[in-house]
Amino acid sequence: MGSEHGEIDVGIKVDEERCNRCGTAEEPMCVRDCPGDLMFIKDNDKAAITDNADCWDCAACVKVCPTQAITMQLPTSLVVRGVTLRGRGLRHKTTWTLRLRDGEVREYETPSTGKAPFTPNL
Protein backbone atom coordinates (compact mmCIF):
# COMPACT_ATOMS: atom_id res chain seq x y z
CA MET A 1 0.00 0.00 0.00
CA GLY A 2 1.76 3.14 -1.17
CA SER A 3 1.36 6.66 -0.02
CA GLU A 4 -0.75 8.90 -2.20
CA HIS A 5 1.89 11.59 -2.01
CA GLY A 6 4.97 9.36 -2.13
CA GLU A 7 8.24 10.23 -0.40
CA ILE A 8 8.80 13.82 0.56
CA ASP A 9 12.32 14.55 -0.58
CA VAL A 10 13.83 16.90 1.99
CA GLY A 11 17.23 17.35 3.48
CA ILE A 12 20.87 17.77 2.61
CA LYS A 13 22.20 16.70 -0.77
CA VAL A 14 25.77 16.76 -2.08
CA ASP A 15 26.40 17.44 -5.77
CA GLU A 16 29.27 15.05 -6.44
CA GLU A 17 30.27 16.98 -9.56
CA ARG A 18 31.07 19.96 -7.35
CA CYS A 19 32.43 18.29 -4.21
CA ASN A 20 36.22 18.06 -4.28
CA ARG A 21 36.66 17.04 -0.64
CA CYS A 22 37.75 20.63 0.00
CA GLY A 23 40.90 20.31 -2.06
CA THR A 24 43.97 20.39 0.17
CA ALA A 25 42.13 21.18 3.40
CA GLU A 26 43.20 18.99 6.28
CA GLU A 27 39.60 18.22 7.17
CA PRO A 28 36.62 18.66 4.83
CA MET A 29 34.68 21.73 5.89
CA CYS A 30 31.26 20.12 6.06
CA VAL A 31 32.66 17.28 8.17
CA ARG A 32 34.40 19.79 10.44
CA ASP A 33 31.39 22.05 10.95
CA CYS A 34 28.34 19.80 11.20
CA PRO A 35 27.31 20.04 14.85
CA GLY A 36 25.75 16.61 14.69
CA ASP A 37 28.75 14.86 13.08
CA LEU A 38 26.47 13.82 10.26
CA MET A 39 28.73 14.55 7.29
CA PHE A 40 31.32 12.02 6.21
CA ILE A 41 33.51 11.23 3.20
CA LYS A 42 32.60 8.20 1.15
CA ASP A 43 35.03 5.79 -0.51
CA ASN A 44 34.83 7.85 -3.71
CA ASP A 45 36.11 10.93 -1.80
CA LYS A 46 32.75 12.70 -1.96
CA ALA A 47 30.86 13.98 1.04
CA ALA A 48 27.51 12.60 2.14
CA ILE A 49 25.14 12.80 5.08
CA THR A 50 24.67 9.77 7.29
CA ASP A 51 20.93 10.21 7.79
CA ASN A 52 18.79 13.19 6.89
CA ALA A 53 16.41 12.26 9.68
CA ASP A 54 19.05 13.38 12.18
CA CYS A 55 19.69 16.73 10.45
CA TRP A 56 18.17 19.79 12.08
CA ASP A 57 18.58 22.05 9.05
CA CYS A 58 21.11 24.40 10.62
CA ALA A 59 22.70 24.87 7.17
CA ALA A 60 26.24 25.06 8.58
CA CYS A 61 27.43 22.63 5.92
CA VAL A 62 25.62 24.53 3.17
CA LYS A 63 27.28 27.79 4.14
CA VAL A 64 30.79 26.50 4.66
CA CYS A 65 31.20 24.42 1.50
CA PRO A 66 33.81 26.21 -0.67
CA THR A 67 32.49 24.71 -3.90
CA GLN A 68 28.80 25.22 -3.10
CA ALA A 69 28.25 21.50 -3.55
CA ILE A 70 25.66 21.18 -0.81
CA THR A 71 22.02 22.04 -1.26
CA MET A 72 19.22 21.88 1.22
CA GLN A 73 15.91 20.61 -0.07
CA LEU A 74 13.43 22.63 1.92
CA PRO A 75 10.42 21.04 3.61
CA THR A 76 7.18 21.50 1.72
CA SER A 77 5.73 23.09 4.81
CA LEU A 78 8.15 25.98 4.35
CA VAL A 79 7.90 26.53 0.64
CA VAL A 80 7.22 24.06 -2.15
CA ARG A 81 8.85 20.84 -3.21
CA GLY A 82 11.80 21.20 -5.54
CA VAL A 83 13.19 24.41 -4.10
CA THR A 84 16.88 24.39 -3.18
CA LEU A 85 19.18 26.77 -1.36
CA ARG A 86 22.90 27.29 -1.76
CA GLY A 87 24.90 29.49 0.56
CA ARG A 88 28.40 30.83 0.95
CA GLY A 89 29.76 32.23 4.19
CA LEU A 90 32.06 35.20 3.66
CA ARG A 91 33.73 37.39 6.26
CA HIS A 92 30.99 39.99 6.58
CA LYS A 93 28.01 38.28 5.04
CA THR A 94 26.52 35.03 3.84
CA THR A 95 25.17 34.96 0.31
CA TRP A 96 22.22 32.71 -0.44
CA THR A 97 20.96 31.49 -3.81
CA LEU A 98 17.40 30.22 -3.79
CA ARG A 99 16.34 28.28 -6.88
CA LEU A 100 12.61 27.93 -7.37
CA ARG A 101 10.86 25.07 -9.12
CA ASP A 102 10.44 26.99 -12.34
CA GLY A 103 14.15 27.73 -12.47
CA GLU A 104 13.88 31.28 -11.18
CA VAL A 105 16.92 32.20 -9.07
CA ARG A 106 16.79 34.68 -6.19
CA GLU A 107 19.86 35.98 -4.38
CA TYR A 108 19.90 37.05 -0.74
CA GLU A 109 22.49 38.22 1.76
CA THR A 110 22.50 37.87 5.53
CA PRO A 111 25.02 39.26 8.04
CA SER A 112 28.00 37.09 8.86
CA THR A 113 28.37 35.24 12.13
CA GLY A 114 31.86 36.70 12.34
CA LYS A 115 33.51 33.31 12.03
CA ALA A 116 36.69 33.39 9.95
CA PRO A 117 36.00 32.20 6.40
CA PHE A 118 37.81 29.24 4.93
CA THR A 119 40.02 30.08 1.94
CA PRO A 120 40.45 26.92 -0.09
CA ASN A 121 43.71 26.20 -1.85
CA LEU A 122 42.15 24.56 -4.91
Q: How far is the CB of 110 from ligand SF4 (least distance, A)?
A: 16
Of 39-58, binders to ligand SF4 (CB under 6 A) are 39, 47, 49, 55-58
SS3 content of the chain, % helix, strand, coil (to 5): 10, 30, 60
Does residue 16 interact with ligand SF4 by CB under 6 A?
no
Closest to ligand SF4 by CB, 14 vs 74, is 14
Measured distance CA(52)–CA(110) in Å, rounded: 25
Backbone angles phi, psi at 64, to 5 degrees: -85, -20
Q: How large is the C-alpha radius of gyration of the chain?
A: 15
Q: Do the Cβ atoms of 27 and 83 come closer than 8 Å?
A: no
Q: How far is the CB of 71 from ligand SF4 (least distance, A)?
A: 10
Q: Which stretches of the chain bind ligand SF4, using CB under 6 A?
A: 12, 14, 19-22, 28-30, 34-36, 38-39, 47, 49, 55-61, 65-67, 69-70
